[in-house]
Amino acid sequence: MRTFDELLNPADRALFPSFSVHLNGVDQLNITSKDKIEWTTEEFDTHNSFSLSITLDNAVAVDKGGGLVGIPSIANGLSVNENITLSGTTNYNGSENVVSVTADEFVITATYVAETFSGAETCTVATFKPLIAGKYLLSVTLYFLSITDDDNLSLYLYKNGSLFKEKDKEANSTGTGGLAGDHLTLTVIVDANGVTDYFEVFAENSTVNTSDIAGSTIVTYWTGSRIS
């Protein structure tokens, strides 16, 4: 066990990265069935282990056949099964899961339409990808807006594209802190290999209603730190 004095050493602190991300005051709208939370802003990220977004390259979409399309993005850092959201394109905007990744492109399932990207298009990633192996303490809080009593709310933590942990509740729409809504918090210790493991947060309102996730940095946030 490292002492507090040892952790004051910059070399030791570098072995215990941490991050905190939020939505920067902008609500994420229309949460229905396992929508990924698209974190937009880092409060801090001490080891560059949280990926918010990437840009596409000034190149063409590639028809891979069989309903697959290659999207140009050199050194994109994406992983197979990772959920992303493309925006700014003419033909490929929306949420997709990554099918495969190479050094200069990633492949999605889509109907091919010829398009040359300008290099200004973006791909929201919003994924935690720890670069040092170890145990990490992760804590996520989501505040659901636009709900009614007894809505079935869920917060999901995914690891490597699969459900890892889940928190559910029946909503109480009375709300707290001046907001009409309800919140869920999930705190868990995870093991990460520091190479291929990655984590994502999803939310769901499984009733007939749709919900919004409050953008307030006070009530919606995701934090994490290596603890061993």
Q: Do residue 115 and residue 55 come from a single domain?
A: yes
Predicted confidence at residue 171, as pLDDT, reads 86
Q: How many domains does the chain have?
A: 2
pTM for this entry = 0.90
Structural domain for 113, as ranges: 51-128
- Domain boundary, last residue among 97, 128, 159: 128
Contact in structure between 123 and 86 (CB atoms under 8 Å): yes
What residues in the chain have per-residue pLDDT under 70? 1-11, 13, 174-179, 208
Counting beta carbons within 10 angstroms of the beta carbon of residue 9, is it exposed (0 to 12), middle (13 to 18) or buried (19 or more)? exposed
Predicted confidence at residue 8, as pLDDT, reads: 55
Cα gap 149→23, rounded to integer Å: 25
The count of C-alpha atoms lying within 13 angstroms of the C-alpha of 28, restricted to the half-sphere facing its C-beta, is 22
What pLDDT was estimated at residue 209? 74
